[in-house]
Amino acid sequence: MSKKNVFPVLIASILLIIALYQASAQRQPTTTKQSIDLLANAGWEEVGIGSASGGGISNNAGKSAWPSMAIDQFDNAFVSWNDDSSGVDQIYILRWNGFLWEEMGLNSASAGGISNTGEKSLAPAIAIQPYDSFVCIAWRDWVSGYAETYWKCWNGNDWWPDNIYDISNQEGQSLSFSSMVYTNSPSHPQPYITWNESDGNDQEIYVATINFQTGWYIIQPSGLSNNINDSWSPSIGMVGNFGPTYVAWHDHSHDENAAEIYIRNVNGDEVGSNSASVGGISNTPGQSSSASLTVSDDGQLFVAWEDNTNGNYEIYVRHWNGYQWSELGTGSASGGGISNNPGDSLRPRVALDPNGTPYIAWYDNSSGNYE
């Protein structure tokens, strides 16, 4: 089975590595592995009865796929996904209020959902607007006749705008899943959304944000990547409340048959020498793809990706300390990486806890099936 055709629908169990981050005088992290007992669910519990069994939280007759989750400052959890219960994939969302999973407005997780276009709507990305806790979702939709990136927000009472808003609004197709963050400005929390789209020649990475007087605009009209060959699957992260915003992606410009991981600031600057050219921050002889980026409040960057340099796909990770890119523990971006097992380890997702400790999750077929 091709790795590109294996996608999670309901996450029942997942392999998890914890990179324990310890600050030193040079702020250099170290890495250890924590043993996890999957048979005992590793101490994980359901969020509401049946949330990870039976019909899950979607619990409908259709196919529910590509979940995205966010948690607001009040510890409310929001999960969005695409669902074909209506006959065609639409964007659904539920909120956990501490007692049960509930819809947010009429039919937010039934019928046409919040997209309600009647055309294919896929791969939602959630971000929470600070202070007001508005819940905003970007996704890919074919309502215009070809794929574009669309956006809606929940203001506490309704989903707005009433009509879905086309952010990409270009001649090419938005062929990757969007990624979104919000600034923490008390006066004007500002969203940034990234995606890849054809410029007529190849796929480029774009980033859009909003001017509160004139609306959405693309920051680099020629593309943040703006290079030869295809750029795919962006992941976005921001430093602190108002800090620099970065985008990581995989790129075929160095070798059209083997991707590398590239990263730039949204203003176009590289993050260290050749971070978005030649071998990028991965710089391996294998295929490097599916970048996942997270950023600490003090400006440290963590990028994880899948890489087949070792023969099978392993999870690699690198860390930017403000001065250079380095491994996060010996061998984290070479050989067997942090996964280091006989199967294919795919689609990593990296996040930081409040202490700055990075956690990385992925799915893996080392057991004989994908977990």
Write out the chain's pLDDT in tens, 371 residues: 434 334 343 333 333 343 333 333 334 444 333 443 444 456 788 899 999 889 999 999 999 999 998 888 888 899 999 999 999 999 999 999 999 999 999 999 999 999 999 999 999 999 888 767 789 999 999 998 888 888 898 988 999 887 766 777 655 555 556 788 877 666 667 888 998 888 778 889 999 988 777 788 899 999 999 999 999 999 999 887 677 899 999 999 998 889 999 999 999 999 999 999 999 999 999 999 999 999 998 999 999 999 999 999 999 999 999 999 999 999 999 999 999 999 999 999 999 988 899 999 999 999 898 88
Q: Pick from 27, 122, 83: which is nearest to 356 by CA?
A: 27
Q: What is the DSSP string of 242-256?
A: T--EEEEEEE-SS-T
Inside any domain, residue 1: no
Residue 229 maps to a domain: yes
Structure tokens, 5:
């055709």
Helices (H) and strands (E) in the chain, counts: 0, 22
Q: What are phi and psi of 330, to 5 degrees?
A: -60, 125
How high is the pLDDT of residue 92?
98
Tell me how crowded residue 81 is: count the other CB atoms within 10 A of its CB: 27
Tokens 């055309």, located at residue: 119
CB 274 within 8 A of CB 262: no
**Residue 187 placed within a domain:** yes
Question: Which residues are CB-neighbours of 316 under 8 A, at least 6 positions away?
Answer: 282, 284, 288, 304, 305, 306, 307, 332, 333, 334, 337, 338
- Cβ neighbours for 44, distance < 8 A, ≥ 6 positions apart: none
Q: Are 333 and 282 in contact (CB under 8 A)?
A: yes
276 Cβ contact partners less than 8 Å away, ≥ 6 residues apart: 225, 227, 251, 262, 263, 264, 270
Residue 128, pLDDT score: 87
pLDDT value at residue 175: 54
Helix (H, G, I), strand (E, B) or coil at 43: helix
Residue 320 lies in a domain: yes
Count structural domains, the chain.
1
Residue 346 domain-assigned (yes or no)? yes
Q: What is the DSSP letter of 129?
A: P
Position 2 scores a pLDDT of 38
35 domain-assigned = no
Encoded tokens for 360 = 């990385």
Question: For residue 289, what are the domain limits?
Answer: 167-371
38 phi and psi angles, rounded to 5 deg: -65, -35
Give phi and psi for 78, each to the nearest 5.
-125, 130
CB 88 within 8 A of CB 120: yes
Q: Please state, in angstroms and rounded to a whole number, the distance separating the CA atoms of residues 117 and 312.
A: 40
**Predicted local distance difference test score (pLDDT) of residue 102:** 97
Inside any domain, residue 139: no
Residue 70 lies in a domain: no
